[in-house]
Structure 1
C-alpha cells in the first residue's frame, strides 16, 4: 500500500468521524430554534424569541 493511499484513507475516516458530532449539533440547533421557539409555555417562547432577536434571526 502506498503512502498516498493510506493518507487518503485516514483523511476520509476522520471526516466520517467528524460527521456524527456535526449532525448532532445541527439537530440540537434545529430543536432549539424551532422546537422551543414554537413551544406553548410563554416563558420558554419568550426566551427563545429574545435569543433569536439577539442573533438577528428573523421570526416575524
Structure 2
C-alpha cells in the first residue's frame, strides 16, 4: 500500500519542493523589501510598477 503526500497529489516531485519554496521566499522578500522600504532610491525605482499592482506605498 502506498500513500500520497500533499505534494504528490498535486504533481510536484520532491526534488522540486526546495527550489520552489526558496523561489517563493525570495520573491516575498523582494516584495516586502521594495514595498515597505523607506529608502527613496528603492521607492522611486519600483514606484510605478508597485502602483500598477495596487500595492500602496504612501
- TM-score category of the 2 structures, normalised to the smaller one: 0.5 to 0.7
- Aligned residues, how many? 49
Higher relative contact order (CA 8 A, sep 6+): 2
Q: Which runs of 4+ in 1 moved over 4 A?
A: none
Where structure 2 has 5 or more consecutive residues not aligned to the other structure, the ranges are none
Where structure 1 has 5 or more consecutive residues not aligned to the other structure, the ranges are none
CA RMSD between the two structures: 2.3
TM-score, structure 2 as length reference: 0.58
Give the helix-richer structure, 1 or 2: 1
TM-score, structure 1 as length reference: 0.57
